Amino acid sequence: QRRESVSVVLEGVHLSYGELGRRAQALAGYLRRRGVGAERLVALCVERSPEMVVGTLGILRAGGAYVPLDPDQPRERLRLMLEEASPAWILSQSSSVGRLPAVSAGVTCLDRDWQEVASEPSVVLESSVEPGQLAYVIYTSGSTGRPKGVMATHRSISNHLRWRQLLHPLGPADAFLQQAPFSFEMSVWEIFAPLISGARLVLARPGEHRDSAYLVEVLAREKVTALRFAPSMLQVMVEEPGLSPASRVRHVFTGAEPLSLDLWSRSEAVLSDRVHHLYGPTETCVAASLFVGEPRPWHPKMPIGRALAGSQLYVVDGFGALVAPGVLGELWIGGVGVARGYRESPAQTADRFVAHPWSGDAGRRLYRTGDRVRALSDGNLEFIGRVDYQLKIRGFRVEPGEVAGV
């Protein structure tokens, strides 16, 4: 019904929903002929671009799972991730392919080689994706010195997108800014939320997703209605001199770092009517909790909220026993958003993904976050800190072990 409507925007480049679908379909057939299917990984090393979106959809339509790689990451880190993922194929761009280490998998540039992709005979691909099938593998910082590949399923993504659309519905009149790095799990929501609702996906220009003056100009020009910033970037945005009523948006989502009450208040005053605070590690598919409403006098700082639909939150002591409200403990998360585990890392998976002690289903598991929290009197959770030495820098997880390994 919206084939001619704009689906993806990057500066002066516009891609309609019809063209996006045709390109994704052509790429899916191309990948199928090269052995891509269920549980097969395809690495996607591209800048933020229409090719990023086409590549993601094409891989999923072929039945495969995508591995997002940031071409600006160190070459050695890219080598480690590609070595561990062992993808069936690699998709890139002419501007990024030179940064890839030597690999045995085939490589296709989605810009330079597109005529080759599009010229192959079209095929009708029947959807045979199962909910438990692998959808993507995103690599995070690893305590052993090697990146960890978090394996997420279609069921996890679908659940996340469903509750997001119910709580904060998007429609054809909306425009969603995509500015998170592609290799960061928040990009999953930023890409799919507007596309499943008929909205416009507005891509920030590569390399300028932290330029507040540029972002303010994009918000006004593209009439952006929703976006997500880490608190550190949100701080920069509210101090941007170029902010005006034209750059104000309906919804701002923030998380991945502590959010101060002052920053929340300032953001609602100058940037958006509603600022939503989210919490969730990569291992629980983007987010597991949300704070709804305004902070109360008994909130010493911005809470991380309550469990989202399909998620369960448990605060436990060092022995894995539930603690009373107000008592500090480690946060364990259950539900459909919990990832399968870490790719090719059974020991780390067993350490972090544990059997669900309060479920009658023997197959259910909980993810041990390593985050220290406590339940407030109103049922919201307050983030206190870490039980280990993991750091968050501008929203990115950093394990000292990986830094030491370098």
Burial of 83 (0-12, 13-18, 19+ CB in 10 A): exposed
Handedness of CA 12, 18, 23, 24 (dihedral sign): positive
Neighbours of 62 (CB within 10 A): 29
pLDDT of the chain, 406 residues: tens digit per residue? 578 999 999 998 999 999 999 999 999 999 999 999 999 999 999 999 999 999 999 999 999 999 999 999 999 999 999 999 999 999 999 999 999 998 889 999 999 999 999 998 877 777 678 999 999 999 998 666 789 999 999 999 999 999 999 999 999 999 999 999 999 999 999 999 999 999 999 999 999 999 999 999 999 999 999 999 999 999 999 999 999 999 999 999 999 999 999 999 999 999 998 999 999 999 999 999 999 888 887 677 899 999 999 999 999 999 999 999 999 999 999 999 999 999 999 999 999 999 999 987 888 999 999 999 999 988 999 999 999 755 555 445 555 544 444 4
Among 32, 3, 197, CA closest to 128: 32
Q: Count of H helices and E strands in the chain?
A: 11, 23
Q: What is the pTM of this model?
A: 0.92
SS3 content of the chain, % helix, strand, coil (to 5): 30, 30, 40
Which residues does 203 contact at the CB level (< 8 Å), separation at least 6? Answer: 8, 9, 10, 48, 49, 50, 52, 53, 178
Beta-strand ranges (E) seen in 98-147 are: 106-109, 134-140
Q: pLDDT tens-digit profile of 255-308?
A: 999 999 999 999 999 999 899 999 999 999 999 999 988 888 767 789 999 999
DSSP letter at 283 equals G
| Domains with residue ranges and CATH for the chain | 6-129 (3.40.50.980), 175-405 (3.40.50.12780)
Residue 361 tokens read as: 């289903």
Which phi-psi region, left, alpha or beta, contains residue 223 (left: φ > 0; alpha: ψ -120 to 50)?
Answer: left
Beta-strand ranges (E) seen in 230-346 are: 249-254, 272-279, 289-291, 306-307, 311-316, 329-335, 341-342
**Cα–Cα distance between 402 and 380 in angstroms, integer?**
33
Q: Do the Cβ atoms of 69 and 87 come closer than 8 Å?
A: no
| Residue-averaged pLDDT of the chain | 92
